[in-house]
A and B are shown apart, each in its own frame.
Chain A
């Protein structure tokens, strides 16, 4: 694999991580909420899609895979909404309680997944339109990787547009800046948060399905992917979606460089720059310090 190809693989991994981190960082910005079950929602999405795909069809056609993806995204989105309504709502402002309780949720989801699927890695069947590889700009990559990169760009632009140009975006920005003042001006902060939480969960589930195409789904991936997403969120500055995008690309590329030069320690190499940056700039690269109320 050429160096450029490896960078592009890193970029596609970064795009995947961005899908997961976007919801996480938005939730923090809006409500100071930290959800450590986010990685489990990612894994849950992958498994539901695998299940739905087998239920829907005999073979992986474009429609069944699309259908399975929709099912996973909707179901996990609803799980996210329920998670906020039943649990996080009661723990506003108590960050230790949020962190530990959502780890509890992650453990429960892991237990249920192991019981249901036996803890073995499952692969998601590739839909025809994503199988095979594609050569663009002299770099040959699996179509799934190209798709991920494109998707990451699309989601990033869409989020930017929604935040900059729509009323909801305006309300979200207002609530991130100053929750109480936004409330005083009639912004329905709690409802906004519930739906953004649901959308964040859906994005994580979508990423889980895509990860199933690229490699596999596995119950023990929950914390591994969560830590990467968290690192991106803090690195980008908690609450900053644009920061998360930059940090995601950075982490994805560093990860690939690690795989290239230090294969055995690749997973660890990633942590060195992340921890170094956070030690010096605790609020991240683009973060203005968000106070947790």
Chain B
């Protein structure tokens, strides 16, 4: 396990080196990859480990960005505190979402998170005087948070550090006894409760943490493009991260992060050829769900294993027949 982590770290640092020295467009894409990677890991904690299928995560993502943007533009708070405000907003909204959905499971849970997410989206759209409505907020700069972040290169490095820290922290968490309990929440809440854990408290904790991580990604996005709008809170954003988790293999952290990278690259490449990104995105949703609704990575792995097993079985059969012939 340790070996694998260091392998990932080496790979990531290599990408980073590449990114720092590459032309600005690639830096832009790489920064997006890292940010979406953080969001995907935050989502995976809830879906992959906790087994809670949420379709309201865009609200957690967006509220981070809005928290930062509003506190930067509308008050005299010190730069780095605005980041904390964004994270705290995500944490609180996450916990609130868990509280509101406490009694729901399965499809009811999914739809209720969707409705809550859409409520936040509507709120941001409607309260024009505070959030700018559809126009969003764009009157802030990265150097308002910290002057060191002004250059794109520095920001890329900061995002990378952020992604690595988030990964390591989440890795430690899912490896801890708490992380085992989390898997219990996914596999059998009843048994978890019988063992003396509280599934309800667990839900609140995991949603709060996931909310904080998702908000972090929203903050990074807001800082990256210098803008936050209601699009960040949209249902499509929630669905994207769910599809990314499924694509990369839920319950692995690394898988969804890598899938997030693929998603961003595909988005950039396809958008440079055609304006029909929505069409491609929609088709991708359908294909992923038809092929492997539980995780594309798992389906591929299972198929590969089946094939090797079949080959092995065939080989033994052949030798056995040869034995008979003799």
What residues of chain A have their CB less than 8 Å away from a CB belonging to chain B?
Answer: 32, 34, 87, 90-91, 94-101, 103-108, 110-112, 114-115, 223, 227, 230-231, 234, 238, 264-268, 271-272, 274-275, 278-283, 292
- Per a CB cutoff under 8 Å, which of A98, A99, A231 touches B115? A231
Is B111 interfacial (CB-CB < 8 Å)?
yes
Decide if the interface of chain A is mainly helix, strand, loop or mixed: helix
Q: Are A100 and B115 in contact (CB under 8 A)?
A: no
Segment from B2-10, B121-129, B210-218 that makes contact with A: B121-129
The verdict on A108 contacting B278 (CB below 8 Å), with A101-B286, A265-B126, A271-B115 known, is yes
Q: How far is the CA of A281 from the CA of B100 in the complex (A)?
A: 10
B128 contacts across to A, CB distance below 8 A? 264
A279 contacts across to B, CB distance below 8 A? 99-103, 112
B70 contacts across to A, CB distance below 8 A? none
B89 contacts across to A, CB distance below 8 A? none
Q: How far is the CA of A271 from the CA of B286 in the complex (A)?
A: 29
Shortest B21–chain A CB gap in Å is 36
Q: Are A34 and B107 in contact (CB under 8 A)?
A: yes
Q: Are A268 and B110 in contact (CB under 8 A)?
A: no
A32 contacts across to B, CB distance below 8 A? 107
Tally of contact residues, B, Cβ under 8 A: 48
Is B33 interfacial (CB-CB < 8 Å)?
no
Shortest B283–chain A CB gap in Å is 7
Q: How far is the CA of A292 from the CA of B119 in the complex (A)?
A: 25
Q: Are A100 and B285 in contact (CB under 8 A)?
A: yes
Residue of A110, A114, A267, A292 with most chain B CB atoms under a 10 A cut-off: A267
Q: Are B108 and A283 in contact (CB under 8 A)?
A: yes
Decide if the interface of chain B is mainly helix, strand, loop or mixed: helix
Restricting to B51-98, which residues have a CB under 8 Å from any CB of A? Answer: 53, 55
The verdict on A111 contacting B282 (CB below 8 Å), with A279-B103, A283-B108 known, is yes
Q: Are B126 and A267 in contact (CB under 8 A)?
A: yes
The verdict on A104 contacting B289 (CB below 8 Å), with A264-B127, A265-B127, A279-B101 known, is yes
Closest to B102 in A: A279
A223 contacts across to B, CB distance below 8 A? 118, 234-235
Q: How far is the CA of A266 from the CA of B276 in the complex (A)?
A: 33
Q: Are B115 and A264 in contact (CB under 8 A)?
A: no
Q: How far is the CA of A281 from the CA of B115 in the complex (A)?
A: 15
18 sampled A-B residue pairs with Cβ under 8 A: A94-B293, A95-B106, A97-B290, A98-B289, A100-B246, A100-B289, A101-B286, A105-B282, A105-B286, A111-B276, A111-B282, A223-B234, A227-B115, A266-B126, A268-B122, A271-B122, A281-B103, A282-B101
Q: Are A275 and B115 in contact (CB under 8 A)?
A: yes
Q: How far is the CA of A237 from the CA of B112 in the complex (A)?
A: 13
- Per a CB cutoff under 8 Å, which of A34, A100, A103, A267 touches B111? A34
B290 contacts across to A, CB distance below 8 A? 87, 90-91, 97, 101
Q: How far is the CA of A106 from the CA of B278 in the complex (A)?
A: 10
Segment from B135-143, B193-201, B236-244 that makes contact with A: B236-244
B279 contacts across to A, CB distance below 8 A? 107-108, 111-112
Q: Are A97 and B108 in contact (CB under 8 A)?
A: no
